[in-house]
Structures are given as structure tokens and as C-alpha cells.
Amino acid sequence: MFLLFFKVIKCKAAVLWGLKQPFSIEEVEVAPPKAYEVRIKMLATGICHTDYDGTTGTMPARFPEVGGHEGCGVVESIGEGVTSMKPGDKVILLPVPQCGICSSCMHPTSNFCERIDITGRGVLREGTSRFTCKGKTVYNFMNSSTFSEYTVVDEVAAVKIDAAAPAEKVCVIGCGFSTGYGAAINTGKVHPGSTCVVFGLGGVGLSVVIGCKAAGASRIIGIDINPRKFERAKAAGATECINPKDYTKPISEVLKKMTNNSVDYTFEVTGNLDTMMDALASCHMNYGTSIIVGDPPAAATITFDPMLVFTGRTWKGCILGGWKTRDDLPKLVSDFMAKKFDLDHIITHVLPFDKIKDGFNLLHKGESVRTVLTF
């Protein structure tokens, strides 16, 4: 049994060989976990827009890579020193780890663990990858690499969850849902009776809507240039939805008139620089809070009028909803099991893993909110 656990595993994975290339299903070799690492048999993974950003250079990555970062699986084997999980445990993978010892993890309100990989290092803590394909090293993506039948991650980049939780649902708690829901609950601290505006109604945007509703917001305005998303947004809790293309005035002026200048919170969930400025200008000039949730383009800069914040606005960023992932995500899974929120609002398609290209096509065409791939 010991040898079974610590052999190299050959399996299928979606490999991205270079920038702006499609994912290719390949046979890869997945080496055993080293000290403080776990090898995981994947059960389900979501296709997040950040995965697409990794193919275009918007999100830094190291090629060739195994993509994916939003997943749920079962621990197959553990390396020396691993104490928080054992083979057979169901886990969620964590693109934002929680090492517990860095300055961010030690701070009570921070979750930006120093072990996060948003710069494209592509390796585990030990400094190497466990993937090889056709004799070449294949690198990790965002501490996770969930587009593989098996993956190896650092222990701090996974967490044990309720064994009864359905993997094809709770995998999205690994990133998309937690990011949006937490942006409202933790980062924005939306208060009852408030007016919220959500720019972008994809999977993360709908999760923001769900979070605003859970926090007691009385008015939740969804904004998107794809009106096909409006019905689902209203089902998730949006009180109304508008398309900026239907107006000639700046959207900030439209919202000011619609709300009698009373927008408490705005959430930018597209990663578009112009939309970030629109969202900032749309919240109240003195007491409004605007939160950047969408991934901004790598190496991009933004210029703004300082009067926008001088008058009292708050402008904030948000990493994975502000959750301390190993502490908080198992609780979110428990809340889902207790039916405190419904993930069906954001999961529109479930496909087998070998249909990954179809899943990305649905994303590009705007026909899906979140596609989940099952193994």
C-alpha cells in the first residue's frame, strides 16, 4: 500500500503550451508529493475567467502549464509532515493559501498570504513542479492546477471539507463564489437597507449579488452589456438590471438619477480599467465605497482625479472575498449544506473534463455563467 501511494501517476490533464494557445488534453506524469505537499484526485473544477486570463497574459503564468484553480477533490496521498488531512479526505483547493505564519496570515483582517502565486512562479514551495509531459517540466497555475485528473499542491493550498458536500457544486467555493460573496460580506461590509451596484454579472458578479442580498441590501442594481444575464441576476437577488449601452450619459450620472444620489456600494467585477473608474464615480461622493473585485490587466496603470476620493469615497481591493481560506471556506461549505445560499444561481453548465474546450467556448460566447467540469 505504501508503494501504491508513492508512485508516479500517469493521467490526463489540460496543458497550455504557450501564450494564446488552446488547452490541449495530454497524458502527464504527476510525481508523488514531497514534504508538506498533498496529491489530490480531482472530482470537479470550475472554469473561471481568470483561467482564460492565464492564456492571454492578463494573469501572469509560466508555460507550459496545467491550468485551473477552482476545484474539489479527494486526497490520494500525503507527503512527510502533513497533519491537517489524510488520504480519502475531500478537499477544496485554494488559489489563495493560508500558511498561518506570514504577516498577512497573522493579521486579523488580512488574507493576502505570501504564498499566493499571482506572479506566475508556477512552482510549489519547494521550488519545483510535480508535472511532466513529453519529457518537459509543466508548471502549476495559481497554487492549484485543477485541470488535471491528479494534482499536487502545498498542504496550505488545500483544506478539508464536509465529505458529503457535492464536488460539482462546492468546487466554485474555491474561487468564484467566495470571491464575490465575500466582497459584499467581508470587504464591503454591506449594511442592511443599503443600495448596491454590481458592474459585471458573470459568476463572481452574481455571487456579489447573493452576498448583498444576504447582507440585507434593499436595492441591488446589476449592470452588464449582455442582457441575457439579467434574468439570472434577478433570480439571484438583483432588484433591477441595466445595460450601459442603452444610455448616452455616463453610467455614473444614470445611477445618480436612478437612486437620487444614494449609492452606498459599487462592485467592479469585470477587470476593465474604464469600468473601475465608472464604479468609483458611481458611489456617493462622501460615504460611498467602491470595491475592485475583477482581475486587473497585468502591468496596467490607471489615472484618476484625486477629487473622487478626496471628498470621502473609499476605494478598496478584494482578494478572494477577504476570507482566510483554510479557516473560512469549510464554514462556507457547511453553510451551503445548510441551504443558506444556492450555488445553482451561478452554475449553468456541467460537462465532462474532456469537453473543456466547449466550456471555454461557452465562456467566450457569453452563454455560460460558470461551467463545471467533472472527472
In this prediction, residue 10 has a pLDDT band, given cuts at 50, 70 and 90, of very high
Cα–Cα distance between 25 and 34 in angstroms, integer? 26
Measured over the CA atoms of residue 94, residue 99, residue 100 and residue 103, the dihedral's sign is negative
Q: Which residue has the cell 471555454?
A: 360
Question: What's the pLDDT score for residue 296?
Answer: 87
Question: What's the pLDDT score for residue 297?
Answer: 81
| Position 301 pLDDT exceeds 50 | yes
Residue-wise DSSP of 251-320:
HHHHHHHHHTS---EEEE-S--HHHHHHHHHHS-TTT-EEEE-SPPPTT------THHHHTS-EEEE-SG
Range 257-268 average pLDDT: 98
In this prediction, residue 5 has a pLDDT band, given cuts at 50, 70 and 90, of low
Which three cell numbers mark 29?
506524469
Cα–Cα distance between 375 and 263 in angstroms, integer? 43
Question: What's the pLDDT score for residue 127?
Answer: 96
Q: Which residue has the cell 440585507?
A: 216
| Position 156 pLDDT exceeds 70 | yes
Cα–Cα distance between 268 and 371 in angstroms, integer? 22
- Residue 307 sits at the vertex; the CA angle it makes with 304 and 310, to the nearest 5 degrees, is 120
| Position 3 pLDDT exceeds 50 | no
Q: Are 263 and 284 in contact, with CB atoms under 8 Å apart?
A: yes
| Position 363 pLDDT exceeds 70 | yes
pLDDT in tens, 303-357: 999 999 999 999 999 999 999 999 999 999 999 999 999 999 999 999 999 999 9
Q: Model-level pTM?
A: 0.95
Chain centroid, CA 201 distance in Å: 14
Q: Are 150 and 75 in contact, with CB atoms under 8 Å apart?
A: no
Cα–Cα distance between 211 and 182 in angstroms, integer? 7
Question: What's the pLDDT score for residue 4?
Answer: 43
| Position 360 pLDDT exceeds 90 | yes
| Position 1 pLDDT exceeds 80 | no
First-last CA distance in the chain: 24
pLDDT in tens, 78-127: 999 999 999 999 999 999 999 999 999 999 999 999 999 989 999 999 99
Cα–Cα distance between 173 and 161 in angstroms, integer? 11
Average pLDDT, the chain: 96
Domains and CATH numbers, the chain: 177-321 (3.40.50.720)
pLDDT in tens, 46-73: 999 999 988 988 888 999 999 999 999 9
Q: Is 321 exposed, middle or buried (CB count within 10 Å of its CB: 0-12, 13-18, 19+)? A: buried
Range 179-191 average pLDDT: 98
Strand partners for 283 = none
